[in-house]
Amino acid sequence: MRKQEESQFWQDEGSRPSRRPQKAVDEGHEKNEGFNWNQNNWNREEKREDNNDGWETVGRKPPRRQHKIQKEQWNGYKKPPNEQEYSNDVQIDDTLEPSEEELADLSQGCYRLWELDSNRLVPGKDYEIDCGDGKKAYQKDDMAQGSLFSWLSDDVFRKPTYSRFCSLLDNYNPNAGHKEVVTSEEKQEQAAFIEEISRTAPIKYLHKYLSAKGIVSGNYQDFKRTISSLWFDLYGRGGTSSCSSAFEHVFVGEIKQAGEQEVSGFHNWLQFYLEEAKGNVDYQGYIFPRRRGQIPDSETQLLTVQFEWNDILKSVSTTLVGVSPEFEIALYTLCFFVGGEDNYVQLGPYPVNIKCYRFGDRIGSVFPIAEN
């Protein structure tokens, strides 16, 4: 697996003009995962020129604000998990015991997970987004004058589950079909991340829920191994073995080629923020909701957007903004084990369909679709 060059990581660049000979995978069609990929396409060298002599390029977006991450502790995550320090366990009380109603109704269980996400960020306090203007999914004009994220508090990356999650994102080569090699240090990062989130309320509730239904072992250590295997074990897509995982596809994103280059997966807001900060994501605007009068704003935490990732357009992508890593792991795991392909649930104020595609006994893809 590759690590991205540190010199590129936090470079503050202006956005390049949009190029769209490619298209992205629509959320409703991500189950077509067979493809071949020419790795050289991803590794092409981007040539960007600064404006000279005071001239400005017409239609060019203003430069992105530089974002920096507190990464000093990331090297410590590579140590053996038993040598690392973790947050205190949340105390198990009645709020972590699923009720009979919740066990009988997946939507109520998901709603409880939303309520238990005490680590969820607060818009305007922890971060700010600028949705720009809206568009239909088929429209290709860039409707955003700048980045989606205006700012994100430095304190966010001091949160243990957030910090550990972000440290995993650069462990992958996004070229679909590229065989991944997991180093011993990366395995330790994965194990430490699972240990950290297992101390939170959403994951403890997930265990109570699944064990009550006889889906997982009542032993918490066995349960943690099940979650780690579900999200991090490698499997093959498109004829290449060990080239993908649920974590890589859902949270990091992959580039595949089935005639044309396509963005597949990439459903996490933290990955969006980090890639936008590096200049790899160009936000194109939000997609109009199906119902009029429900226009997203800076307070919205369920957002359907269009963007380019390394010049490849993703025409539709819905993201839960500001939710914690443990919440998304718990939510998607619950829907995978208990639900079907379509899971109509209520998350706080948002009616959502959690779309879940299975790849044998693995998660092929899972992501939210706004039911507005």
Please give the positions annotated as active site: 249, 267, 314
Amino acid at 255: I
H-helix or E-strand spanning residue 240? strand 240-244
Burial of 88: CB neighbours in 10 Å, binned 0-12, 13-18, 19+: exposed
H-helix or E-strand spanning residue 186? helix 184-197
Question: How far, in Å, CA of 144 to CA of 281, rounded?
Answer: 12
Ramachandran angles phi, psi of 164, nearest 5°: -65, -40
How many Cβ atoms from other residues are within 10 Å of residue 125's Cβ? Answer: 9
How many Cβ atoms from other residues are within 10 Å of residue 151's Cβ? Answer: 12
Number of H helices, E strands in the chain: 11, 13
Amino acid at 326: E
Amino acid at 120: R
